[in-house]
Structure 1
Amino acid sequence: MELDVLGLGDETQRVYTTLVGLPRSTASEVAKACGTSTSAAARLLSVLVKSGLATRSATRPPRFTAAAPDVAVTELIQERERQLDAARSLVRRLAVTHREALRVGDPGMAVELLSGYEDISAAVHRITAGARRQIRAFDRPPYVDRPGSNLENQRGRQRTGVTHRVVYDRAAVDWPGRLRDDILPSVRSGEQARVLARLPMKLVIADDALAVIPFSLAPGGHLAAYLIHRSPMLTALEALFEAEWQRAAPLEDTGPRGGRPDRPDPDTLALVRLLASGCSDTAIARTQGWSRRTTQRRIQGLMTELGAATRFQAAAQAARRGWLP
């Protein structure tokens, strides 16, 4: 029957469903309605009382009333969900142990499959926490963890001398609040950041030992991932990162502290660097705290000053004047 999954046998369910329509019934009345013996009905009613699915009066003979199904059965469902969550957690721990045991037996195994949000998040945190020299990453949506949630951990690693080099996809820079609340604070604390219009995939490399990449580039592919150990595949991923790093435009902290007397004012420098990074008008307005109209007016004024017909030309002219690193 339908409630078997909650640990209720067929006879128990039959008594409960009968009692729902016969409140304040004795065991003999329930037995008659169910077509069973009074002793069997009394035993099953006791089970229902212990499970919180029925109440028993203090009268003689006792009378039984079913608990409200939408409350009592929902509580049973929630308890079973808690048990299933505990089982899933155990399975995940056993899976990690199993993978590590396999690697001990087969050190040449280069790739592990990670499945599910928690496995992927745990693996990324594990390899980044274990890094001793550098972390290299491609950052692009969609995300497993909330963007910015790892900022304090990153700052801690950088204080110990771990270098962070990150190439951001333009979509990551355009993510609401991301540039102001996460990327620029990371740069201020020592992160080396660059931007490309489009990255081929997400990637995290810890030292030259481990990497995590998505299982698939299709929608939903970020919910499974590969953990890559030291191997020719990891060497290829390192080469890919370095090639994209060379192509990307630097992204620096452009706040007032970054201005120099021989350069334009900090707002203009900020605008030039954000344009060179490929940021949209919306992202620039959000980062600088300008309205969209003010942003467009400033961009147009900058292009006129530089004699540029396009945003790309404006960035190129600014680079020639030494406004970009």
Structure 2
Amino acid sequence: MLAAIGLDERQESAYRALVALGAAEVGDLARRLTLPEADTERALRRLESQGLAARSSAGTGRWVAAPPHVALGALLARQRQELERAERAAATLAREYRSDAAEAAAHDLVEVVTGAGAVAHRLRQLQLGAAREVCAFVTGTKVVEAQERAAVRGVAYRLVVEREVLSLPGGLMELSAALARDERVRVADRVPAELVVADRALAMVTLTGRGAEPAALIVHASGLLESLMGLFEAVWREAAPLRLGAGGKVMEGAGPGPDATDLEILSLLLAGMTDASVAKQLDLGLRTVQRRVKGLMELTGVTTRLQLGWHACARGWITREHSP
């Protein structure tokens, strides 16, 4: 848990033990940790350099723990300051990158990454670097990877998976977990390629070949990237939505139409009310209203509320007589 402030497992164990004891001789602490005394002393010296432990004035070889709320609080404050400086530096570099990217040579717009480790690293980097949306094609050659999803940071996910994924070991479990995270998932008989696009600004296309080393293309902002995004949108429109049914079962299809509450929400939104106002008017939670609107957008296959309003009128869900 304390790795974020630079402590390894031994150092953290030594600090926890020292906190529990208050103070201890090196030998006693070593026996408690089942470590050689030399390793225990090295861990204590590292804690001393971090301000987490100090040598006792009571005797040579005796150590005392620094109060956690003081020592750890100072370390965390320093880490936050360093993180803020890193974020400012990253923002500056991003601005410089965008200004330079406009003049990038054609051969700089596409990178080739080779090797399983390098490809996996760039994929993880691409997802964690997303700020708004990740769009992806998932082929039947592997199950959806859910580790360290950007969705936990509020990044939207749209996935189109090959039907074969549904029959892979663990495939339904991964898709069920994705739907539970409010990721939007659709299924198609086949998808053109393994593709991931982050914020419509950077894409990865996996290259496959028999006996060949894993490789991928990294595509930067360009006409090619726009074409890849257009391909994704075309496949997305034609794919069938997946949803969670009773008992968390993954089901294909858009599900039932809007109920009376959905229609009330739509009517009030079309009248110009905000989500918060609708929630108050109908005595619903704000998240409930937002979840229902998102479900209606999924049902109609649209990506904006303006499109949802048009579809609601076109399908006869909302008429002038029903509007406030």
TM-score range, shorter chain: 0.3 to 0.5
Provide the TM-score with structure 2 as the length reference: 0.43
Larger radius of gyration: 1
Taking CA–CA contacts closer than 8 Å with sequence separation of 6 or more, which of the two structures ends up with the larger relative contact order? 1
What is the TM-score of this pair, normalised by structure 1?
A: 0.43
